[in-house]
C-alpha cells in the first residue's frame, strides 16, 4: 500500500511538472516579452518573467532565492517520503505533493532556463539552445509567468484618502501553473488539514516512521 502511494504521488508530480514545463516552454518560444493574448475581459495570457518568488515577488538576491528553493525542495522531498512511509492521509499527501511540484517547477526555470534559452525581449522571441549560449549562467534563469486574471478593474473613489482616483485591479499578480500548484496545496492544507499538521510533525520527529 505504501509503495503504491509512493508510485502514485511520484507519477502525479511528474505529470504536473510536464504540464508546467510544456506551458512555459511554449510561451517562452512563441511570445514576445509582455505580449498579451486576450481570452476574456478577466482572463489574459500575458508573458512576463521574474527573478523572485511566487506571483512575481522579489525580496532577496537571485542566487539566494535559487539556492533557497533547492534546499526547500530537498526538505519537501524528505518530508513527503516520511509521510508516505508513515501512511498518512491521501489528501494530506496530495497537498504536500502539489507544493513540492510547484517548487520544483519554478526551480527548473531558475536553474536551467538561462542556459538553454536566448533572452526574451519586446522584439525577439526566445530560441531553444541558441548557438551563442543562453541569456544567463546556471542558477540565474528567470521564472516564466503567463496567467493574468484582472477580475475587477476600476478606479478608487476620489474621496478616499491616499488612493483616491488611482487605478485599481483585483487580481493583479501574474503567475504560472507551478504557482497555482503551490497555492492550491497550501490553501487546501490550511482548510482541510490544519489540525493534522501536528501529527505530521510528529512523524518527522519519529525515527521509525
Among 41, 109, 145, 202, the active-site one is: 145
Q: How confident is the model at residue 209 (pLDDT cuts 50, 70, 90)?
A: very low
Going through 109-161 in order, the beta strands assigned E by DSSP cover 143-148, 152-155
Among 41, 109, 166, 179, the active-site one is: 179
What distance separates the 2 farthest-apart alpha carbons in the chain?
A: 63
In angstroms, rounded to a whole number, what is the distance separating the alpha carbons of residues 48 and 8? 33
pLDDT at 60: 55
Q: Is 179 a catalytic site residue?
A: yes
Q: How confident is the model at residue 56 (pLDDT cuts 50, 70, 90)?
A: very low
In angstroms, rounded to a whole number, what is the distance separating the alpha carbons of residues 141 and 123? 20
Q: What pTM does this model have?
A: 0.87
On the question of pLDDT at 162 being above 90, the answer is no
Pick 207 or 167 by higher pLDDT.
167
Q: How far apart are the first and last CA of the chain?
A: 15
> What rounded mean pLDDT belongs to the chain?
89
Q: Which three cell numbers mark 162?
A: 491616499
pLDDT at 1: 63
Amino acid at each position: 500500500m505504501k509503495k503504491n502511494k509512493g508510485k502514485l504521488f511520484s507519477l502525479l508530480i511528474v505529470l504536473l511538472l510536464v504540464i508546467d514545463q510544456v506551458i512555459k516552454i511554449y510561451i517562452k518560444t512563441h511570445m514576445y516579452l509582455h505580449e498579451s493574448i486576450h481570452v476574456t475581459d478577466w482572463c489574459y495570457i500575458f508573458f512576463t518573467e521574474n527573478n523572485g518568488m511566487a506571483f512575481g515577488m522579489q525580496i532577496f538576491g537571485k542566487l539566494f532565492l535559487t539556492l533557497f528553493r533547492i534546499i526547500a525542495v530537498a526538505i519537501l522531498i524528505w518530508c513527503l517520503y516520511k509521510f508516505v512511509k508513515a501512511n498518512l492521509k491521501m489528501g494530506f499527501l496530495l497537498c504536500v505533493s502539489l507544493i513540492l511540484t510547484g517548487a520544483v517547477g519554478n526551480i527548473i526555470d531558475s536553474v536551467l532556463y538561462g542556459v538553454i534559452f536566448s533572452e526574451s525581449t519586446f522584439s525577439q522571441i526566445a530560441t531553444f539552445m541558441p548557438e551563442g549560449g543562453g541569456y544567463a549562467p546556471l542558477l540565474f534563469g528567470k521564472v516564466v509567468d503567463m496567467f493574468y486574471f484582472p477580475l475587477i478593474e476600476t478606479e478608487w473613489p476620489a474621496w478616499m484618502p491616499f488612493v483616491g482616483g488611482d487605478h485599481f485591479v483585483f487580481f493583479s499578480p501574474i503567475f504560472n501553473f507551478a504557482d497555482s500548484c503551490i497555492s492550491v496545496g497550501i490553501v487546501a492544507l490550511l482548510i482541510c488539514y490544519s489540525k493534522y499538521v501536528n501529527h505530521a510533525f510528529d512523524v518527522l520527529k519519529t525515527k521509525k516512521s
